[in-house]
Amino acid sequence: MKIIVCVKQVPDSAAAMSVEDGKISWGDAPLVINPWDEYAVEAALRLTEAQGGDVIALSLGDENAKEAIKHALAMGCSEAILVNDPAMAGADTQAVARVLAAAIQKIGGADIVVFGKQAIDSDVGATPSMVARLLGWPAVTLVSEIVECTQSEIKASRAMEEGRQQVAAELPVVLSIVKDYGEPRYPSFMGIRKAARASVPEWTVADTGIDLPSAVVTWPNVMAPPEREVTNEIIEGSNPEEIAAKLADKIMEEKVL
Amino acid sequence: MANRVWAYVDQFKSQALLASWEVVFTGRKLADQLGSGLTVLVIGSHLDALAKAAIEYGADEVLLVDDPSLEDYRASPYAAALAGAVGENKLDIFLFPTTTRGREVAGMAAIDLNTGVLVDVTEIKLDGDKVTAIRPVYAGKLLSEVVCNAKPQLVTLRGRAFEKPVPDAGRTGTVTKLPTVMAEDEIKLKVTGYQAAEGGVSLTDASVIVSGGRGTSNNSAEPPAEITDESEKEIWKAQQGFILINDLASVLDGAVGASRAAVDAGYVPYVHQVGQTGKVVSPDLYIACGISGAIQHLAGMRSSKVIVAINKDPEAPIFKYARFGVVGDLYKILPPLTAAMKERLEK
Ligand SMILES: Cc1cc2nc3c(=O)[nH]c(=O)nc-3n(C[C@H](O)[C@H](O)[C@H](O)COP(=O)(O)OP(=O)(O)OC[C@H]3O[C@@H](n4cnc5c(N)ncnc54)[C@H](O)[C@@H]3O)c2cc1C
Ligand SMILES: Nc1ncnc2c1ncn2[C@@H]1O[C@H](COP(=O)(O)O)[C@@H](O)[C@H]1O
């Protein structure tokens, strides 16, 4: 079985974000693999462990994206490809999806493509469905459990607002994975060494066989959220009952109930 | 002349999600500003009651793709039905709710209609027929202005961020049924079952959330003797705290939230997680119990209207964001607080 897992590089979730001269800054916080994508890598690895086969990590990004790729390799992916094209700086989600879909086709022969649920920087969560549409494959997004997977079919549960939807889809298929699936493994020592030595081929957009897609969505302005004026008030009292009564009155005064 | 503003209604078992009516209601306002009518598209099965409600919330024209094969949501036939309904119509704006299905269908529509999508926006401004939207990025640590330079401009609206929809039973409109586009044997995905979530109010719809963190495990009560495993003991202890949290939440008609630490330790399932890798919420009232206020947690709840923090540690960062704070033990404060709220709400 051939599985491709798409991973993105993002600022660490602990980063305090700011805007300097109109540019987004994450200070000196490190860039890391998108946390959701670790679940995707985990799912891809478990599928090949059960079925045999290889997992290829695919990322679109600049030099920095190599860290995300290294992490995926260290977890156990056997190969990786970086699509690195300066013309893609400022690309929107549909442009990214078009390039990823083209790269997936260029790699060829994939049975399953696995995505994270969402990138924690842009918070879009639409790349998996867009790629599925471009490839014409079924999209099984928000997978919380893979019940069974054969060479021709996958049975999975999806986490939706109202509960779990169980589906069976024909391969090839696009998946996105949510946290219920199970904790991602830590890279092993051997894995880290292997990843450090791995050579990662770099492609331009032209190498994927399509013309440069143009960005449709642009973000002319990014800003810090307006400072919220919160008046902090510590509720005190001589016993819990008194504190609770005071707090209850204060909550009622806010008229939010 | 076709309407230039469209809205998509996300439904489950022939019931619209509340966020769908927010979308229709906002669509109505935008259509009025543009001097256009509003078309509402509903895809599913047994949709007649929904069509009537869509008109009450602001639709002039309702398009129903109503077919047994569309009973359960499946991305491909829904996306195909949407593209089929749009056809050659020239629309400026197409609004969706940011539900799991709404987000997915909108993403696929961006590919089919050769345009882009502005996801999970919290504000919309119109300049002529051009939308400028505001959306939180980095889990709300920053805000971004976004525009879509192709048409239709697809936009998904965050739930509870727009005006509360009010139905008007006197409104009139037309209902048109469209045929489904994909035959069953062309659809490569079957729905084989469905398992309802445990009851309770969902986090994203909730106007009140009471959340618990790792602090819930700091409980002096001793677990029953048959629990010997240390981590099982910790879980038992913490769950006693979540019982108190649940009691308060149900008095307030609210939902139960949790920090990632509480979820990872196995106190409550992941559906309850609030934060950067959980749900981003903005209820009217958020009560954090035994939660320190890590940046990833704050990212998911700091836009709540009123924040209350109960924490033993006066230095906990959460207090900086809290309108009201109690420095104390959640196990001591929650029972009398629940009783006091019950009394005040006459429950
Ligand atoms: C990639 C990544 C993503 C993350 N995403 C999220 C996310 O989505 N959501 C999230 O919440 N976190 C997230 N985190 C984790 C986050 O960094 C914190 O670890 C987590 O929020 C801490 O949870 P906590 O406040 O419950 O625990 P702690 O930080 O341990 O705080 C427990 C608090 O309880 C108080 N306390 C103890 N006993 C009592 C008592 N009896 N009564 C009252 N107070 C008491 C203590 O004073 C302390 O302040 C993420 C981390 C990473 C690395
Ligand atoms: N530049 C990228 N390179 C590789 N994968 C990506 C990229 N952007 C997004 N993805 C994948 O798509 C998922 C959803 O991203 P998004 O739609 O941007 O929130 C991520 O979890 C990744 O799996």
Contact B116 A217 (CB under 8 A): yes
Nearest-neighbour CA in chain B from A68: distance (Å): 17
ipTM field: 0.94
Q: Is B277 on the interface with A (CB under 8 A)?
A: yes
Interface-testing mutation among B121, B142, B270, with chain A (most A C-beta atoms within 10 A): B142
Task: Tell me the pLDDT tens digit for each residue of A139-162.
Answer: 999 999 999 999 999 999 999 988
Query: Is A228 inside a domain boundary?
Result: no
Q: According to the model, what pLDDT value does residue B199 have? A: 65
Q: According to the model, what pLDDT value does residue B1 have? A: 58
Q: What share of chain B is helix, strand, coil (3-state, %, to 5)?
A: 35, 30, 35
Q: Which residue, B279, B340, B114, B300, is CA-closest to A161? A: B279
Q: Name every residue whose Cβ is closer than 8 Å to that of residue B290 and which is 6 or more positions away in sequence.
A: B212, B213, B214, B215, B216, B218, B241, B310, B311, B312, B330
Query: Which ranges of chain A would DSSP assign to H, the alpha helix?
Result: 35-51, 66-75, 93-107, 127-135, 189-197, 240-253
Does the pTM surpass 0.80? The reply is: yes
Q: What distance in Å separates the CA atoms of residue B223 and residue B233, rounded to the nearest whole number?
A: 6
Q: How far is the CA of B329 from the centre of ligand 1 (A)?
A: 16
Is the pLDDT score of A11 beyond 90?
A: yes
Contact A240 B137 (CB under 8 A): no
Residues in chain A: 257
Buried b (16+ CB within 10 A) or exposed e, B189-217: bbeeebeeeeeebebbebbbbbbbbbbbb
Query: Is A127 inside a domain boundary?
Result: yes
Task: Tell me the pLDDT tens digit for each residue of A125-144.
Answer: 999 999 999 999 999 999 99
Range of A29's domain? Answer: 2-208
Q: What distance in Å separates the CA atoms of residue A252 and residue A218, rounded to the nearest whole number?
A: 43
Measured from the CB, is residue B262 less than 6 Å from ligand 1?
Answer: yes
Give the SS3 label for residue B185.
Answer: helix
Q: How far is the CA of B262 from the centre of ligand 1 (A)?
A: 7
Task: Tell me the pLDDT tens digit for each residue of A92-101.
Answer: 999 999 999 9
Residue with tokens 């586009």: B181
Q: According to the model, what pLDDT value does residue A228 have? A: 82
Q: According to the model, what pLDDT value does residue A132 have? A: 98
Q: Is A257 on the interface with B (CB under 8 A)?
A: yes
Partners of residue B125 on adjacent β-strands: B132
Q: Which amino acid is at B72?
A: D
- Strand B15-16 and strand B11-12: pairing? antiparallel
Question: pLDDT tens string for chain B (347 positions)?
Answer: 589 999 999 999 999 999 999 999 999 999 999 999 999 999 999 999 999 999 999 999 999 999 999 999 999 999 999 999 999 999 999 999 999 999 999 999 999 999 999 999 999 999 999 999 999 999 999 999 999 999 999 999 999 899 999 999 999 999 999 999 999 999 999 999 999 877 667 888 899 999 999 999 999 999 999 999 999 999 999 999 999 999 999 999 999 999 999 999 999 999 999 999 999 999 999 999 999 999 999 999 999 999 999 999 999 999 999 999 999 999 999 999 999 999 999 98
Q: According to the model, what pLDDT value does residue B161 have? A: 93
Q: What distance in Å separates the CA atoms of residue B5 and residue B3, rounded to the nearest whole number?
A: 6
CATH of the domain at A16: 3.40.50.620
B96 CB-side CA count, 13 A: 26
Residue pair B202/B256 in contact (Cβ under 8 Å)? The answer is no
For residue A159, the surrounding DSSP H or E stretch is strand A153-160
Nearest-neighbour CA in chain B from A17: distance (Å): 6
How many domains, chain A? 1
Q: Is B321 on the interface with A (CB under 8 A)?
A: yes
The nearest alpha carbon in chain A to B272 belongs to: A180
Query: Is A17 inside a domain boundary?
Result: yes
Residue pair A39/A106 in contact (Cβ under 8 Å)? The answer is no
The nearest alpha carbon in chain A to B334 belongs to: A244
Q: According to the model, what pLDDT value does residue B205 have? A: 82
> Which residue, by CA, sits nearest to atom 36 of ligand 1?
B215
Residue pair A4/A114 in contact (Cβ under 8 Å)? The answer is yes
Measured from the CB, is residue B297 less than 6 Å from ligand 1?
Answer: yes
Structural domains in chain B, CATH included, are 5-186 (3.40.50.620), 208-345 (3.40.50.1220)
